[in-house]
Amino acid sequence: MRSEAVRPFVAVSRSRSEAVQFRTILAATYPVFLVAAVVQRLRPGAAALPRRSVFGEARAMALSAIPFAFMG
């Protein structure tokens, strides 16, 4: 019975820990993706289509790549 009372706390603690890890990885990788987004924009063959800002593009790239760090 006591283990049932501890489980919700462990689940909350684990999810909070994973959220902190996610934000830490996002903060660490965002500058790399920001540079990549700027380089993409400066390429001579880049199309002049309406798109997100460089910062939005970097955030989107980071958010799409980070989940792979949590797989496995």
User: pLDDT tens, 29-66?
Assistant: 999 999 999 998 888 776 666 678 999 999 999 999 98
CB atoms within 10 A of CB 15: 10
Position 11 pLDDT exceeds 80: no
Beta-carbon-side half-sphere exposure of residue 10 (alpha carbons within 13 Å):
6
> Exposed/middle/buried for 8, CB within 10 Å: 0-12, 13-18, 19+?
exposed
Position 7 pLDDT exceeds 60: no
Q: Measure the CA–CA gap between 61 and 63, rounded to whole angstroms.
A: 6
Domain total in the chain: 1
Residue 38 lies in domain:
2-70
pLDDT at 43: 84
pLDDT at 61: 92
